[in-house]
Chain A
């Protein structure tokens, strides 16, 4: 009698163990896929905003080269707004891996620097319109410094995301 009870107990516990194992296996299979999905979303968002920023920057370079400071000011403001929007967009995407989280931090810092670049370009253009060449050069130099730093951060973020 005792042997039969023991056998039933063993049988029940092994059944639960098997169920628990299969559940854990299912969770283990689902988790990496979800993690990849989240980092891929981050990568896609970063790429989209990078494209946009590239187009904006191209226009600013053209306006500067053609000596159209007013147009450059408008575009610089727009560039700044896009950089801020990019930050907002990236902040809304959740990174799932440690690399993804680090990449996100770098990308947010990059777009923050780009927002400063946009501001300094606009100030440079305003100074130029007013004929304040020294001030225009000063703002342009600050912008160039932040542009280098932001670009390095952006490329580093991309490298982390692979």
Chain B
């Protein structure tokens, strides 16, 4: 083979290899998408953590709408509030910790 042709072939292969490596790095970077952003630390309540719904967005939408319905119903209800239970929450540590234990309100 002509040495010039060989050089060109090697250069082409090197470029293609470089592109492959770049692609692989780009692919890997998706595994840590929130490195530059605030990452939410999600706490799941039940032991079905492994069965995390594939469609997190649909689940979030459902939960928000359910909560909106609950708040609406309770706001309209004339029944008195549970003062004792509510006050217990007031001495609790803070929103962060309280909210991470949403399971048992």
Residues of A whose CB lies within 8 Å of any CB of B are 15, 18-19, 22-23, 25-27, 29-30, 33-34, 36-37, 40-42, 44-72, 74-75, 77-78, 82, 85-86, 88-90, 92-93, 114, 117, 121, 124, 127-129, 133, 136-137, 139-141, 143-144, 147-148, 150-152, 154-155, 157-158
Cα of A56 to Cα of B74 in the assembled complex, Å:
18
A22 to B67, Cβ gap below 8 A?
Answer: no
Whether B40 lies near A52 (C-beta < 8 A) is yes
The 0/1 profile, CB within 8 Å of A marked 1, for residues 72-105 of chain B is 1111111111100111011000011011001001
Decide if B6 is an interface residue (CB 8 Å cutoff): no
Considering the chains assembled together, what is the distance between the CA atoms of A62 and B104 in angstroms? 8
- Given the known interface contacts A71-B98, A124-B71, the answer about A85 and B4 at a Cβ–Cβ threshold of 8 Å is no
A144 adjacent to B99 (CB under 8 Å): no
When C-beta atoms are compared, the residue in chain B nearest to A86 turns out to be B40
CA distance A44 to B62 in the complex (A): 19
Q: Name the contact of B42 in the complex, choosing from A51, A114, A133 (C-beta under 8 A).
A: A51
Query: Which DSSP category, helix, strand, loop or mixed, fits chain B's interface?
Result: helix
Q: How large is the interface on B (under 10, 10 to 19, 20 to 34, 35 or more residues)?
A: 35 or more
Q: Which residues of B contact A45 (CB under 8 A)?
A: 33-34, 37
**Contacts A59-B102, A62-B105 known; A30 to B42 CB distance under 8 Å?**
no
Which of these, B19, B39, B55, B99, contacts A29 with CB under 8 Å? B19
Extra contacts besides A47-B56, A54-B64, A78-B95 (12): CB < 8 Å: A23-B15, A33-B26, A36-B27, A42-B33, A46-B57, A48-B34, A66-B85, A74-B98, A78-B99, A89-B34, A92-B36, A137-B75
On whether the beta carbons of B75 and A133 are closer than 8 Å, the reply is yes
Known: A30-B23, A48-B42, A59-B102. A64 touches B33 (CB 8 A): no
